[in-house]
């Protein structure tokens, strides 16, 4: 409640806060070790690649043990983009429902408590969008606000979380739902022998994550508070990451400059963000960072000056599932919340970077 004070027109109100009360992931049932996937690419590309050992080295360098795929390996390559997108819709609904059900069950949140549904993905398109289809399928509230977000790529998990926090800051008695579904295997271009596509075939996997964010007036489970958020856009960096879209679907754009952009910008952005909240890097005891890939994680550690295992959760998630684009940082969040939870009162940073090029930062207090 706000309390009136002597200054005319001024209201003394407690600062609103937002909590992450659940982070739950869901994976397809089709899992393949990296060696099995590499052998499949050998059968498909072996005669067209002059030096197959180049692909072997690229895959070995990803630090990924294996990946989950939306479809059985025998179903690839897909005939056309239409088929791939139909499989994306079908699998996104299935994985999304699994993740949301588990998130609601573990928190006791009822459908009527969810005021907004944010959906992020960059690996498929649908209209009605996936969150609308899930509202029907799961009998969620018909008054729920729908916010589908496309195009942010790897940064979208953090950006969606920040936008969910914005929502419950404005509606503190409600809960916002964020769902990320990325099915990267459905975007592979079978005729693209560029280095970017060869790397992506060894790095990216499939998965989904659901996160519930509650406002300060909603009674429910405890979780890390979202104290502040920061979005940073880097002008004239569109070439760094994204898609070229044609009748064949999504063709990956992945510049070798990605680690350099991280090195040049992330440390400065984090320092400015923390300073605006009267903190410094030395105050941060927990780092929830998008998995990216080995070079990106190494650049992140160098940019932030952290070298004592602070990114172990990100490395572990990368090893287990690969890079899941927007879902990756939410997989790391789940890992930290369930298996590496910091002591109460610990300050933390959740961060991701992606197409634009841009970064999204969240200041957490555990």
> Above 80 in pLDDT, residue 361?
yes
Kindly name the residue from 2, 101, 154, 358 that is annotated as catalytic.
Answer: 154
> Above 70 in pLDDT, residue 137?
yes
| pLDDT tens profile 317-338 | 999 999 999 999 999 999 999 9
Q: What is the mean pLDDT of residues 223-230?
A: 96
Q: Which of 22-31, 252-261, 266-275 has the lowest mean pLDDT?
A: 252-261
Beta partners for residue 288, in sequence order: 350
Active site residue 317: no
Q: Which band of pLDDT confidence, cut at 50, 70 and 90, is reported for residue 3?
A: very low
HSE, CB side, 13 Å, CA atoms: give it for residue 283: 16
Q: Which band of pLDDT confidence, cut at 50, 70 and 90, is reported for residue 2?
A: very low
| pLDDT tens profile 264-279 | 999 999 999 999 999 9
Q: Is the full-model pTM beyond 0.85?
A: yes
Q: Which of 363, 348, 352 is nearest to 324 (CA)?
A: 352
Beta partners for residue 304, in sequence order: none
Q: Mean pLDDT for the chain?
A: 91
CATH says 18-215 is which class? alpha beta
Beta strand pairing call for 18-26 and 206-215: antiparallel
Q: Outline which parts of the chain fall under CATH 3.40.47.10.
A: 18-215, 225-365
Prior bond to 77 cis, omega within 30?
Answer: yes
Q: Are 20 and 224 in contact (CB under 8 A)?
A: yes
What pLDDT score was predicted for residue 15?
Answer: 53
> Above 80 in pLDDT, residue 209?
yes
CATH topology for 225-365 is: Peroxisomal Thiolase; Chain A, domain 1 (3.40.47)
- Name 20's Cβ contacts closer than 8 Å, sequence gap at least 6: 161, 211, 212, 213, 223, 224, 226, 333, 337, 364
């Amino acid at each position: 409640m706000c309390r009136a004070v002597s200054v005319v027109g001024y209201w003394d109100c407690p600062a609103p806060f937002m909590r992450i009360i659940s982070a739950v992931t869901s994976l397809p049932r089709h899992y393949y070790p990296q060696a099995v996937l590499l052998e499949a690419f050998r059968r498909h590309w072996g005669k067209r690649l002059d030096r197959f050992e180049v692909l072997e080295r690229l895959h070995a360098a990803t630090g990924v043990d294996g990946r989950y795929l939306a479809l059985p390996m025998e179903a690839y390559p897909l005939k056309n983009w239409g088929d791939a997108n139909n499989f994306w819709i079908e699998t996104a609904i299935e994985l999304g429902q699994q993740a949301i059900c588990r998130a609601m069950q573990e928190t006791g949140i009822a459908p009527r408590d969810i005021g907004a549904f944010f959906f992020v993905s960059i690996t498929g398109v649908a209209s009605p969008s996936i969150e609308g289809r899930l509202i029907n399928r799961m009998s969620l509230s018909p008054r729920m606000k729908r916010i589908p977000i496309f195009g942010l790529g790897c940064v979208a998990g953090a950006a969606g979380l920040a936008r969910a926090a914005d929502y419950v800051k404005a509606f503190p008695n409600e809960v916002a739902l964020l769902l990320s579904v990325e099915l990267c295997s459905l975007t592979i271009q079978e005729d693209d022998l560029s280095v970017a596509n060869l790397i992506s075939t060894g790095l990216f996997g499939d998965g989904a994550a659901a996160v519930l964010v509650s406002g300060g007036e909603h009674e429910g489970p405890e979780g890390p508070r979202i104290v502040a958020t920061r979005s940073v856009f880097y002008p004239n960096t569109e070439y760094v990451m994204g898609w070229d879209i044609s009748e064949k679907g999504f063709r990956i754009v992945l510049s070798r400059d990605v680690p350099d952009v991280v090195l040049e910008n992330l440390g400065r952005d984090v320092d400015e963000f923390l300073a605006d909240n009267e903190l410094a890097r030395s105050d941060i005891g927990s780092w929830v960072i998008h998995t990216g890939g080995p070079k990106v994680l190494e650049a992140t550690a160098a940019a932030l000056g952290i070298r004592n295992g602070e990114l172990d959760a990100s490395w572990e998630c990368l090893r287990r599932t690969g890079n899941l684009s927007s879902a990756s940082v939410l997989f790391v969040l789940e890992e930290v919340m369930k298996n590496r939870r910091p002591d109460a009162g610990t300050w933390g940073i959740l961060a991701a970077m992606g197409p634009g090029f841009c970064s999204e930062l969240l200041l957490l207090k555990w």
